A and B are shown apart, each in its own frame.
Chain A
Amino acid sequence: MIRLDNLHVRVGTFDLREISLEVPKGGYALIIGPTGSGKTTLLEAVAGHARLRSGRVFMHDDDVTHLPPERRGLGFVYQQYHLFPHLSVRENITYGIGRTRSASSRLGAADRVSELAGMLAIEPLLDRPVRGLSGGEQQRVALARALAPKPSILLLDEPFAAVDPATRQVLRRELRELHEREGITTLQVTHDFDEALRLGDLVAVLSEGRIAQSGTPEQVFRYPNSAFVARFVGTGNVIAGTVERTDEADGSRPFRGRFTGGNLVLDVVAEREGPMHAVLRPEDIVLSLSQQSGSARNRMQGKVVRLERLGPVTLVHLDVGRLLIASLTTQSVEDMELKAGTRVIVAFKATAILLV
């Protein structure tokens, strides 16, 4: 278990503030955020490399705030791997377990190396120098090195950033399997929300040194709490505007309202009035070629600007007085014979619009 309680870290002029987060035992949490949002600093604070100005760090209910990194019992895999260049692959992996010289511990270390090398398919590399290993190989060795001392907590800083997409897929799957097999509480940093959806039980979106939102990946993706999160996790169409009440002003909530902004006037169901963002997920937009009756309260004329095919799904870029992106199955795009310039009716329900 990792619990961060209201951390404040300053690095140069950058502040990481009000960071509170709890990763349950054996959980897999991801910190996501754009470059410069403070992700790596956050990991360094958890590891004990960055000094805290305030706040506390707990691991398994122990307060480790004032413990040096070597006494926190964690493994840390850096983005650039940082293998020890003067040691062989085997020596790198045993670095954290070869400290005692008794015969039994040496035997234990040898067993652990074989076990990890087997899991990560790096046996043929063990007696090679680290110079000349490919990115994916270095990644596996760095992971084996961090796991060798059987840490109860694993910190990963963009572990797949420097490997090619095919290797990334394999490594991702292996990492998830390793996580389950070893039961390690894992905290990973990434800028890729897709990774969070695939790997994490919990995500926290970091923006300018603060946690903008945390929750399950599904929650964050479906119900972003701000325009920033919606844009960052790619929820879909984010439109700035203003909400006003259109039903009887009796103060009841939620109420029917009108959202005006981005050249659109939309029927919405709102909790409050005033300036905010409307978030509309591409899969909630329905397209038809002729005026059809339906329950959707928002209907408008639109024109297809461009089709973006992503395998079984196609993103349809629409001009409705502003750009909207709709997501359809490629099959229905073909059935409707959509192409650039096709005029369509664009419809979506008032309840499909998330106001943040």
Chain B
Amino acid sequence: MTLRSALPRVVLAGLGACLVLFIVGPLLRLLFFATPETLGEALRDAELRDSIALTVFTATAATLIAALLGIPLAYLLARRNFRGRRLVQGLIDLPVVVPHPVAGIALLLFLGRRSEVGGALANLGLEFVSHVPGIVAAMLFVSAPILVSGAREAFRSVDPQLERVARTLGDTAWGAFRRVTLPLAARGVLAGSILAWSRSVSEFGSIVILTYNPKVASIYIFDRFTTFGLQSAVPAAVILLLVALTMLVVVRVLQPQDRQ
């Protein structure tokens, strides 16, 4: 290989390496900033433990709701060519482009006691603002598009003819979905759900407006940082980072080799 032909590749690799370093550098710095002692101390802090437990609980609740409502929608978007499909697709993707504090304010106006919806729900005993359901609502709002698009792509990757074959072999439409499409799409749907769950865990901007207390992990870290400073925020930040990394590994393992 001559120098001339190798040059473009070197330039491309160099540019890419800059970006990778920019992402990995700060995270590594954070990981090594914490010592085992400070991490152990942080884990003994009941407030942090509670906030992590709350985060896991609310993110799981938001993901389950998103899955219940979003998987059927994802299937429809992948398989049926109905009127307004593109519109529905666009609406579902809206939260991705709405700044998160804006989403928080919108949810506050919609679910607050003074709105019709929020008022009616409050009368049924479901309070959002400054309550746990507010956290779930904010997480659902920002993570639903991720779950729906992940599941939609998973369904789209399954050849629709396979369902037709199953039908001619005696399956009803539901039977063909359950025995063919769902098993084939399951890994992709699960990977999309885990990404949505991770997105929920990392949410801050809308939760901070809707429910500051009780504190989820991201708000706990912010609170530590503004109240006690950097040193105090680091151990909790590291723990949250480790949770996120674990989920990323799980998603990577789930993704089928041939689709990467």
* Residue ranges of A at the interface with B (Cβ–Cβ < 8 Å): 44, 47-49, 68-70, 72, 74-76, 78, 80, 82, 84-86, 95-96, 99, 145-146, 149, 155
> In the assembled complex, how far is the CB of residue B154 from the closest CB belonging to chain A, in whole angstroms?
13
**If A80-B161, A86-B183 touch, does A95 touch B169 (CB 8 Å cutoff)?**
yes
Restricting to B154-177, which residues have a CB under 8 Å from any CB of A? 159, 161-162, 164-173, 175
Interface size on B, residues (CB 8 A): 18
Q: Closest B-chain residue to A74, C-beta based?
A: B168
Contact of B167 among A68, A145, A146, A149 (CB under 8 A): A68
Docked CA distance A44–B184 (Å): 24
Question: Which applies to chain A's interface (DSSP): helix, strand, loop or mixed?
Answer: loop
Q: Of the candidates A78, A86, A145, which one forms a contact with B169 in the assembled complex, judged by CB atoms under 8 Å apart?
A: A145
14 A-B pairs besides A44-B164, A72-B168 with CB distance below 8 A are A68-B167, A69-B168, A70-B170, A70-B172, A80-B161, A82-B164, A84-B166, A85-B184, A86-B180, A86-B184, A95-B169, A96-B170, A145-B169, A149-B169
- Can you list 20 A-B contacts (CB < 8 A)? A47-B164, A48-B167, A49-B167, A68-B167, A68-B172, A69-B167, A69-B168, A70-B167, A76-B168, A78-B161, A80-B161, A84-B162, A84-B165, A85-B184, A86-B183, A95-B166, A95-B169, A96-B169, A96-B170, A99-B170
Question: Which B residue's beta carbon lies closest to that of A151?
Answer: B168
Secondary structure type dominating chain B contacts: helix
Do A70 and B162 have beta carbons less than 8 Å apart? no
Q: How far is the CA of A70 from the CA of B177 in the complex (A)?
A: 13
User: Knowing A84-B180, A85-B184, A86-B183 touch, does A47 contact B159 (C-beta < 8 A)?
Assistant: no
B residues near A49, Cβ cutoff 8 Å: 164, 167
Residue of B nearest to A44 (CB): B164
Least CB distance from B255 to A in Å reads 16
A96 / chain B contacts, CB cutoff of 8 Å: 169-170
Inter-subunit contact A69/B184 (CB<8 Å): no
- Kindly list chain A residues whose C-beta atoms are within 8 Å of the C-beta of B165: 76, 78, 82, 84, 145
Q: Which of chain B's residues have a CB closer than 8 A to the CB of A44?
A: 164
Measured CA separation A35–B170 after assembly (Å): 30
Residue of A nearest to B167 (CB): A69
Question: Chain A contacts of B162 at CB under 8 A?
Answer: 82, 84
Q: How far is the CB of B49 from chain A (nearest CB, A)?
A: 41
Flag if B168 contacts A75 (CB, 8 Å). yes
A70 contacts B171, C-beta separation under 8 Å: yes
Among residues of B, the one whose C-beta sits closest to the C-beta of A95 is B169
State the CA gap A74–B167 with chains docked (Å): 10
Q: Is the CB of B168 within 8 A of A47?
A: yes
Q: Does the CB pair B168–A70 fall under 8 Å?
A: yes
Min CB–CB distance B16 → chain A (angstroms): 33
Q: A194 CB to closest chain B CB, in angstroms?
A: 27
The 8 closest A-B pairs by CB, nearest first: A96-B169, A69-B167, A76-B168, A82-B161, A82-B165, A70-B170, A70-B167, A96-B170
B189 to chain A, nearest CB (A): 14
Q: A85 contacts which chain B residues (CB < 8 A)?
A: 184
What's the minimum C-beta distance from A145 to chain B, rounded to whole angstroms?
Answer: 7
